[in-house]
Structure 1
Amino acid sequence: MTSQPTSPPAAEPPTPEPDTEQPETREQHTQELPAWLRPLDDALLDDERLQQAVALRPGAGGRAAAVLVLIGEGHAGPEILFVERASTLRTHAGQIAFPGGANDPDDADLIATALREAREETGVDVTGIRPIGALPAAHVAVSGFDVTAVVGWWSRRSEVRAADPREVASVLVVPVADLTDPARRGLVRHPSGYAGPGFDVAGHLIWGLTAHLLDGVLELAGWQRPWDAERRFDIPPRYLTDRAPGRGHDAH
């Protein structure tokens, strides 16, 4: 009898290589940050302190939005990026703000919203930004938004500019040393009765929601310096125009 040839046994499928990439530990995360940023990074994990930062205007179930508090290192130490909003906008026209805007359905989360808006408004290379945390949402009555401030470390600096002139008139990068200078701090009082912190920097007044969020971040980071709460800042008329129907003054 002639034997029939047998087929070789089927090859075993290759064993997949084990996934050796481990999630970054808290220690690794902290070590990668500059020493001056670590206190803020730690504070962003403290829920009680975070809630205090937005206690005056907590979220109220409004439409979701996000801004980016982008912090880098300059010649004079830490710096924070702001935009001067275009004077033609319907709300908050001409005011100094953090880049940001409404959450888009295509955004993965509010971090993605903040990064996208910052790129669209300032042209910043978002691959050089490392988000490290966020404040709880704060409510803006004039627009109905609940705004989440995402804090990012500008680990690799890139050129910035007014990338969308329809929304942004200019981009400012302001040293924290200027923002915490007691001579530049004061209390802003709006004709409507609103009162809050103010920062007089680079010929501009930072007030309203932006000033509240900024004040909270400076406090969390341990960068605050004592300032005279009796000093009053008048709000320039150019900041008091709100073109949204029925809104009146832009007290945000």
Structure 2
Amino acid sequence: MTTAAGLPAWMRRIADAATGAWAAQAGQWPTPDDSARESAVLMLFGETDGRPDVLLIERAAGLRSHAGQAAFPGGGAEPDDGGPVGTALRECAEETGVDPTGVEVIATLPPLWLSVSNYSVTPVLAWWREPCEVRVADPAEVASVHRVPVSELTDPAHRLQVRYPSGYTGPAFRASGLLIWGFTAGVLSTLFDAAGIAEPWDRTLVEPMPTGPGLIREGRGGS
């Protein structure tokens, strides 16, 4: 793992939040029980032409769980992974073609429970020091790969909430023509709040939970 030294100022704020204020805010999330399957996701932040971004995938429509949703690269743990960092890096490489040697892990965050699929998900925060071309490396699991600008995610005009059938509402983002909601949006929203880079936004803008693909392109139904 690396320290905040040598990181851009914006990334230092995110790194500091992940190792400080994040833990307090993440404590509001449900904690996994012993039956949950271990998994990890890679929260990979980088820059494109000096513009901060984060790597997200659109999960394939044929998957059994979370089909079509926007997500961080990641998945279930394997015996040879050696822990959450190994899982996150392996899954990211398998799904998007990212070269792990160009990735610097900053922090392993407390595991969060994804109740709908009973996964214990460990977010691994990383800095993309040496970016490479990304692609759909595993079409069976990934429909598309996106480097989403952080500026779009923090723009109040791109924020809203999604209402679930239970009545619960959670944060969502419209960025790069995509709708990001659910677990991924919740993690990003919590991290941006903790880092102090979120801007005030209209929480009265609420849409029903998408019933089709989870990552909705503009002009494609479900929102």
What TM-score does the superposition give when structure 1 sets the normalisation length?
0.79
Correspondent of 2:33 among 56, 60, 69: 60
Measure how far apart 1:56 and its partner are: 2.9
How many residues align? The count is 213
Question: 1:40-51 alignment to 2 at 5 Å?
Answer: 40-46=14-20, 49-51=22-24
Deviation sequence 1:193-232 (CA, Å, 0-9, x none) = 2321011123322111111111122123322111001011
Measure how far apart 1:76 and its partner are: 5.7
Measure how far apart 1:87 and its partner are: 0.5
- In structure 2, runs of 5+ residues without a counterpart are 215-223
Question: 1:100-249 alignment to 2 at 5 Å?
Answer: 100-239=74-213
1:86 correspondence with 2:60: yes
- Out of 210-219 and 52-61, give the one that drifted further: 52-61
Give the secondary-structure state (helix, strand or coil) at the position aligned to 1:196. strand
Higher strand share: 2
Deviation sequence 1:134-170 (CA, Å, 0-9, x none) = 3211111111111011010000000101100000000
**Number of the residue aligned with 1:16:** none
Question: Which structure has the larger Rg?
Answer: 1
- The separation in 2 between residues aligned to 1:136 and 1:109, in whole angstroms, is 13
**Number of the residue aligned with 1:248:** none
- The separation in 1 between residues aligned to 2:123 and 2:88, in whole angstroms, is 8
- The separation in 2 between residues aligned to 1:168 and 1:151, in whole angstroms, is 21
Measure how far apart 1:54 and its partner are: 4.9
Measure how far apart 1:41 and its partner are: 1.9
CA RMSD across the alignment: 1.8
